[in-house]
Amino acid sequence: MTRPDDRRTVGSIAGVPQGPEGLRVLVIVPAWNEQDSITGTLDEIRECVPWADLLVIDDGSGDRTAAVAEAAGATVCRLPFNLGVGGAMRTGYRYALRNGYDVAVQIDADGQHDPRYLVDLIDLMGDADVVIGARFAKADDPYIVRGPRRWAMVLLAWVLSRLARTRLTDVTSGFRASNRRAIALFAQHYPAEYLGDTVESLVIAARAGCRITQVPVTMRARTAGRASHSPVKAAIYLCRAIVALLLALVRDWPAQLEEGAEMPPSPAAPGPATRPSGARPEARP
C-alpha cells in the first residue's frame, strides 16, 4: 500500500464539472460478486474524476452487487449470466460507443487499481488510442510477482512491445483507457476467452493500428484472494498465456467468430439525449 504523495494533488481537480479539454469520459467497472468493495471503489473514483460517468457492469453476480452499485449512484448494466471480464467489457464499450463517449476507462471493482491514476491515463489520450495503467514500469514498484507467472508476464510484455513498437511492461493489466477509435474496435471485437480481455484485446488493437502506450501505476494488493501462489497454478498460467498469445497472433482478422460481429452505429450518434435529466448530480456542458 504505497501511494506516492505527489498524487494527492490530483484531487484538486475535484469540482470541475467536465473532463480535461471537455472530453466525455466513461469509467467502466466490471463487477462480479463485489458487493463489499464496490461502494468504496465507486466513491473513490467519483472523488478523483467527478466529471466522469460511472458504468458498473454487473457480470451475473449472485450477490447484491447491482443494487449496491445503484445505491452508490452508478449506472448499472446487468448481464443475465456470468460472461467473464471480456463479455462485461464489450458490453461497456458498446455502451460507450452508442452514447458517444470520447474516452472509456476500465477499472477493477476490487480496489486493486488506484483511481487517482485515472487522470494520468486520460491525460495521455491525446497521444495514444489505448493507454495502459502498468505495473513493473518503475524500479521501486512494490507489486512483486515471481516464478512462472512472472515469466509469462515478461514474455507477453516483450511480444506486445514488439507488436506495438513501444515499451510495455504490463499487458495483463485490466486498468486502461481507450479513445473513440479503440472504443469502436473493442465494441466489436473484445474476446471473452481466457486472457483475451487483456492480452488478446491489445493484440487486436495493435494489429488494427492503434497507438498503445502506458502510464506507470502502483497497484494495491487485493484485499481478498490474491492471485494464487501455487507453483502448479503459476505454470498452468504460463502455458495458457503462451497459448492465448499464439492464438491471438495467428487468428484470422477479425479475431472473432463472425456471429459476434455487428456493424457499430455511427459514433456521432447523439448520446446525452437519452439520459433522463437530473438523474445524476454532475452537470454537463
Partner 1 sequence: MSGSTILGVVGSAVILLTLFEMMRRHRLREKYALIWALVAVSVITVALFPVLLFEASDAVGLAVPANLLFFCSAIVILVLTLQHSSELSRLEERTRTLAEELALLRLQVDRNHRAEQQHDPSHDESTS
Binding interface with partner 1 (CB under 8 A): 57, 75-81, 83, 87, 90-91, 94-95, 98, 192, 256-257, 259-260, 262, 274-279
What is the torsion angle, in degrees rounded to the nearest 10, for the CA atoms of residue 61, residue 63, residue 69 and residue 70? 100
CB 151, CB 62: distance < 8 Å: no
Q: Which is nearer to partner 1, 117 or 190 (CB)?
A: 190
**Cβ 75 to partner 1 shortest distance, Å:** 7
Q: How far apart are CA 196 and CA 193, in angstroms?
A: 5
Look-up of cell digits 455502451: 95
Strand ranges (DSSP E) for 42-173? Answer: 53-58, 75-78, 103-106, 130-134
Question: To the nearest whole angstrom, how small is the minimum distance from the Cβ of residue 68 to partner 1?
Answer: 17
Residue 104 DSSP symbol: E
User: From CA 96, how far away is CA 253, in angstroms rounded?
Assistant: 23
Q: How far is the CB of 95 from partner 1 (least distance, A)?
A: 6
6 burial (CB, 10 Å; 0-12 / 13-18 / 19+) is: exposed
Judged by beta carbon, residue 21 or residue 262, the one nearer partner 1 is 262
Q: DSSP letter string over 254-280? A: SSS-GGG--PPPPTTS--GGGSPTTSS
Q: Which is nearer to partner 1, 1 or 257 (CB)?
A: 257
Kind of pairing between the strands at 212-216 and 130-134:
parallel
Whichever of 95 and 237 has its CB closer to partner 1, that residue is 95
Distance CA 123, CA 264 (A): 26
Name the minimum Å distance from CB 277 to partner 1.
8
Rank residues 169 and 256 by Cβ distance to partner 1 and give the closer one: 256
Find the shortest distance in angstroms from Cβ 164 to partner 1.
27
Between CA 256 and CA 87 the distance in angstroms is: 13
Q: Which is nearer to partner 1, 74 or 210 (CB)?
A: 74
Nearer to partner 1 among residue 59 and residue 108 (C-beta) = 59
Q: For helices 147-164 and 231-250, give the axis angle rounded to 10 degrees.
A: 20
Distance of alpha carbon 272 from alpha carbon 37, whole angstroms: 29
Residue nearer to partner 1 on the CB measure, 2 or 266: 266
Q: How far is the CB of 69 from partner 1 (least distance, A)?
A: 12
